[in-house]
Homo-oligomer: A and B are copies of this chain.
């Protein structure tokens, strides 16, 4: 599985002292995703746009604001509302693809 005809920023995004890192890719239609790695740990993130978090590999728990903890083991997808927060409890090295969604997608 690969993404084609994209632009990638050479510089990584580095969070939590490098325990979470990602790289932004931009598609021909202007839409963006980040491909990232999370090492084991607890993290809280906030969103601007609605996000699709697709886990490619890894075991983790996630909690959306006001909801119960859920578990992903190996692969899975969850959606985070715009202007919200979510918590992660990452248990093994996790490979992910985050899509930033607009009204169009």
Alpha-carbon separation in the docked complex, A39 to B56 (Å): 21
A4, CB-defined interface residue at 8 Å: yes
Q: Which residues of B contact A6 (CB under 8 A)?
A: 6-8
A82, CB-defined interface residue at 8 Å: no
Number of copies: 2
A18, CB-defined interface residue at 8 Å: yes
Determine how close the nearest CB of chain B comes to the CB of A47; give it in whole angstroms: 21
- Which range holds the interface residue count of chain A? 20 to 34
Contact in complex: B35, A12 (CB < 8 Å):
yes
Contact in complex: B8, A37 (CB < 8 Å):
no
* Partner pick for A10 among B5, B21, B26, B97, CB 8 A cutoff: B97
Residue of B nearest to A36 (CB): B12
A: residues with CB less than 8 A from B are 1-12, 14, 17-19, 21, 23, 25-26, 35, 37, 39, 56-57, 93, 95, 97
8 pairs of A and B residues whose beta carbons are closest in the complex: A18-B93, A1-B10, A4-B7, A21-B37, A12-B95, A18-B39, A2-B7, A2-B9
